[in-house]
Amino acid sequence: MPNFKKLSIIIVNYQSAAYLQKCLASLFRFNSEIDLEIVVVNNDKKENLNKIKEKFPAIILINTAENKGFGAACNLGVKSSQGELLFFLNPDTEILRSLEPIIEVFEKNPEVGAVGPKLLGKDERIQEWSTGVEISFLDLIRNNLGLPSSRKIWESSVARETFWISGAALFVPRKIFSGIGGFDENFFMYFEDNDFCRRIGQTGKKLLYFPDVAICHLGGKSSQDPKKQKEYFFASQDYFFQKHFGSWQVFWLKFLRRIFLIK
């Protein structure tokens, strides 16, 4: 069985300094028994994280000259890390217990290529759209009708296979990350995690939703202009469908979007 001696936690910051400090404190509080390193990629040149670095001198801080997008920043963070196991984590999260059980999942199950914990909102309710079924044209229609097939996965109380895991909290072995070439940097924001997980699945590895470990995720704290967010979302959605399904499905996707404002 593989032995993951070191965990590298990659956090991309954008307008989230107010939450990052609590996130880091929770990581150190609950994981003293784990050999971990934390790499923070500051994707916001207007936000100074020096005071946080002073409070948590063990972190590796990378300041970018511009907002590179989530996937590109994650790839940059990985280059400065050394762990055999990678954990991509949003800054607006708080760890609620040790991450050791997830490390054990990888050590005991070499066929597992990625793991996602249960995400809880501030109200402690299960966060929707943290994991789900394979993305398809039919699945999008079901989602917009209020009949998401993915609900059966994110509401599961036991570990189960899944098709994708939110990049807000995503574990993957470095070997697999490198094997698929990391995140596709053509996604600036949104769908990069869906694409990433799809490519892991194509290698024959399993993706696992693991609700035994829960993480609080406030969500949406990296404030963006709503109009710009929608533009990023649709551009990434189009690219995802073009990449995996071809131009014909993109045509119908845009057609239905105009009629039903499909998500």
Parallel, antiparallel, or unpaired for β 160-162 and 206-217? antiparallel
**Domains delineated in the chain:** 7-221 (3.90.550.10)
CB-based contact 85:103 (threshold 8 Å): yes
| pLDDT by 10s per residue, the chain, length 263 | 577 889 999 999 999 999 999 999 999 999 999 999 999 999 998 999 999 999 999 999 999 989 989 999 999 999 999 999 999 999 999 999 999 999 999 999 999 999 999 999 988 899 999 999 999 888 888 888 888 999 999 999 999 999 999 999 999 999 999 999 999 999 999 999 999 999 999 999 999 999 999 999 987 655 567 788 889 999 999 999 999 999 988 888 888 887 765 55
Joined tokens for residue 262: 């499909």
Alpha-carbon torsion (9, 81, 170, 238), positive or negative: positive
Among 65, 76, 7, residue whose Cα is nearest residue 35: 7
Does this model's pTM top 0.85? My answer is yes
The whole-number pLDDT of residue 263 equals 52
The whole-number pLDDT of residue 228 equals 84
The whole-number pLDDT of residue 180 equals 98
The whole-number pLDDT of residue 222 equals 58
